[in-house]
């Protein structure tokens, strides 16, 4: 990773001077390092796709999606998963190969299903049987055969914030692992000429540092695959094991290389399938945060500095919860540096306050910084995932631009919103 200092004491990211970039494009500004995205994808290729046969990797686009991101992934041969008509539309407009698109979601609308079936997405991951009926009807009307997976709730708890924990039995996601329910669903697909069930999917949670949930869930799913083979004669071709691999945000985070998650699963797979007398399914992973999280930072300009003697120093920045809702949403922690004072000793502790009318709009509670002045540039790290994609216009703040940097070259990926954009849909 390219976080080196130079003589002029500025924060360098993707080979570019972040103080210059902040002046050139203005702040707040999302900056994405193409180099880090490629590093991550290379790790996926080396330690998963090339190491193990019959595997695929799909990027969870909800983490960060733009036309250019689609183009980067397309070039790399990585698929994408989408969870809405809007994400699907973005992929379509980027000319993304539709056979490499997986469509998720716990309550897909009829319109979304029609768009997905019409555009021949590679897989629809069916979350419930209401949706199965909709797909069946749409596929019949359009005379298509739709390839689907069933999303299963494997009933494992993962160690993460409860809002990003998705694999436990009591979840809004997926089909519960209850024999009668599942068998009925499988038999429905066997009797349908417009739906082809390919296999199963699970996603246990996000920002995980331990592999135990994935391993447990694979174990449960392999037993399920055996059971449905014996009881309803269904042969599973694919097992999609979701994403959730954790990244570094702050001290104490202990991110693991991808192989820590996939090796124990892949090493045991052949053996377990042999024992169970089932075919070895294709294994698909769906990392989102892991690919893009550390590849992104956000630049802000510091404005007001309010020192309450003996209490706290609030440092006001020109963004906040509209460009990064995660601290307010689930108490997410971040690290930041002062981009124009990267090598000065950190003698102060301050609180980074967003500019919204909410006391909860605080991006970092206690950040060690050098002595600050208004006009300094703050860079918050690891904001690549679930920042731009979760951004809003609260307080009618305009969304930041996104700049992509690579080996010292910068280019605009998404332009900054304008005031006119803010009212462009008002009647």
**CA dihedral of 108, 84, 391, 77, whole degrees rounded to 10:** 140
Residue-level length of the chain: 427
**Cβ neighbour number for residue 320 with a 10 Å cutoff:** 26
Stretch of residues binding ligand PLP (CB under 6 A), selected from 6-14, 137-145, 213-221, 238-246? 238-246
Pairing of strands 296-308, 282-285: unpaired
What residues contact residue 162 under an 8 Å CB cut-off, 6+ apart? Answer: none
357 catalytic, yes or no? yes
Identify the bridge partners of residue 409 per DSSP, sorted by sequence position: 406
Stretch of residues binding ligand PLP (CB under 6 A), selected from 26-34, 59-67, 69-77, 140-148? 59-67
Closest to ligand PLP by CB, 176 vs 370, is 176
**Which is it for the CA torsion 352, 358, 360, 361, positive or negative?**
negative
Binder to ligand PLP among 79, 85, 155, 243 (CB under 6 A)?
Answer: 243
Task: Kindly state whether residue 206 participates in binding ligand PLP, applying the rule CB under 6 A.
Answer: yes
Element (H, E) at 284: strand 282-285
Residues 288-317 touching ligand PLP, rule: CB under 6 A, are 288-290
State the catalytic residue, choosing from 16, 273, 356, 357: 357
Closest to ligand PLP by CB, 173 vs 365, is 173
Binder to ligand PLP among 79, 199, 244, 400 (CB under 6 A)?
Answer: 244
Q: What angle do CA 52, 57, 61 make, to 5 degrees?
A: 165
Which DSSP category does 68 fall into? H
Task: Kindly state whether residue 60 participates in binding ligand PLP, applying the rule CB under 6 A.
Answer: yes
Q: Which tokens is 335 given?
A: 């690290």
CB of 206 to ligand PLP, least distance (A): 3
What is the DSSP track for 87-115? HHHHHHHTT--GGGEEE--SS--HHHHHH
Stretch of residues binding ligand PLP (CB under 6 A), selected from 3-11, 106-114, 283-291, 332-340? 283-291
Binder to ligand PLP among 34, 114, 136, 286 (CB under 6 A)?
Answer: 286
Among 19, 29, 81, which Cα is nearest to 243's? 81
Report d(CA 194, CA 143) in Å as an integer: 7
Task: Kindly state whether residue 104 participates in binding ligand PLP, applying the rule CB under 6 A.
Answer: yes
Element (H, E) at 414: strand 409-414
Closest to ligand PLP by CB, 243 vs 316, is 243
Task: Kindly state whether residue 62 participates in binding ligand PLP, applying the rule CB under 6 A.
Answer: yes
Task: Kindly state whether residue 242 participates in binding ligand PLP, applying the rule CB under 6 A.
Answer: yes
Residues 360-389 touching ligand PLP, rule: CB under 6 A, are 385
Among 52, 107, 66, 61, which Cα is nearest to 82's? 61
Stretch of residues binding ligand PLP (CB under 6 A), selected from 24-32, 240-248, 355-363, 398-406? 240-248
Closest to ligand PLP by CB, 164 vs 422, is 164
**Which is it for the CA torsion 347, 348, 349, 352, positive or negative?**
negative
CB of 244 to ligand PLP, least distance (A): 4
Binder to ligand PLP among 203, 272, 326, 399 (CB under 6 A)?
Answer: 203
CB of 287 to ligand PLP, least distance (A): 5
Residues of the shown chain interacting with ligand PLP in the complex, contacts defined by CB under 6 A: 60, 62-63, 81, 104, 203, 206, 242-245, 286-290, 385
Active site residue ranges: 357
């Amino acid at each position: 990773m390219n976080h080196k200092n130079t003589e002029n004491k500025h924060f360098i990211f993707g080979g570019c001077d972040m103080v210059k970039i902040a002046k050139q494009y203005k702040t707040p500004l999302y900056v994405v390092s193409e180099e880090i995205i490629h590093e991550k994808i290379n790790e996926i290729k080396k330690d998963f796709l090339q190491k193990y046969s019959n595997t695929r990797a799909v990027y969870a686009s909800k983490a960060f999606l733009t036309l250019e991101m689609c183009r980067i992934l397309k070039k790399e041969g990585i698929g994408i998963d989408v969870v809405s008509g809007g994400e699907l539309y973005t992929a379509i407009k980027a000319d993304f190969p539709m056979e490499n698109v997986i469509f998720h979601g716990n309550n897909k609308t009829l319109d979304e299903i029609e768009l997905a079936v019409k555009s021949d997405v590679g897989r629809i991951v069916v979350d419930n049987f209401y949706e199965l009926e909709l797909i069946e009807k749409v596929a019949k009307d359009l005379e298509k055969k739709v390839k689907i997976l069933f999303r299963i709730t494997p009933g494992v708890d993962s160690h993460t914030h409860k809002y990003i924990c998705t694999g436990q039995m009591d979840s809004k996601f997926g089909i519960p692992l209850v024999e009668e329910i599942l068998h009925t669903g499988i038999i429905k697909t066997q009797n349908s000429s417009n739906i082809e069930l390919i296999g199963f999917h699970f996603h246990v949670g996000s920002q995980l540092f331990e592999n135990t949930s994935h391993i447990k869930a694979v174990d449960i799913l392999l037993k399920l695959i055996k059971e449905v083979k014996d009881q309803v004669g269904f042969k599973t071709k694919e097992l999609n094991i979701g994403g959730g691999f954790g990244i570094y945000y702050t001290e104490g985070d202990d991110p693991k290389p991808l192989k820590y998650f996939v090796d124990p699963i892949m090493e045991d797979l052949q053996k377990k399938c042999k024992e169970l007398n089932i075919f070895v399914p294709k294994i698909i992973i769906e990392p989102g945060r892991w690919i893009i999280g550390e590849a992104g930072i956000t630049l802000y300009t510091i404005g007001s500095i309010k020192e309450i003697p003996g209490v706290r120093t609030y440092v006001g920045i020109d963004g906040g919860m509209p460009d990064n809702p995660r601290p307010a949403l689930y108490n997410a922690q971040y690290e930041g540096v002062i981009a124009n004072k990267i090598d000065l000793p950190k003698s102060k502790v301050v609180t980074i306050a967003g500019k919204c009318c909410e006391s909860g709009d605080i991006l970092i509670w206690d950040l060690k910084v050098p002595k600050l002045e208004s006009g300094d540039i703050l860079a918050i790290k690891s904001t690549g995932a679930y920042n731009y994609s979760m951004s809003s216009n609260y307080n009618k703040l305009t969304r930041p631009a996104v700049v992509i940097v690579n080996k010292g070259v910068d280019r605009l990926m998404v332009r900054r919103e304008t005031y006119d954009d803010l009212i462009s849909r008002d009647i």
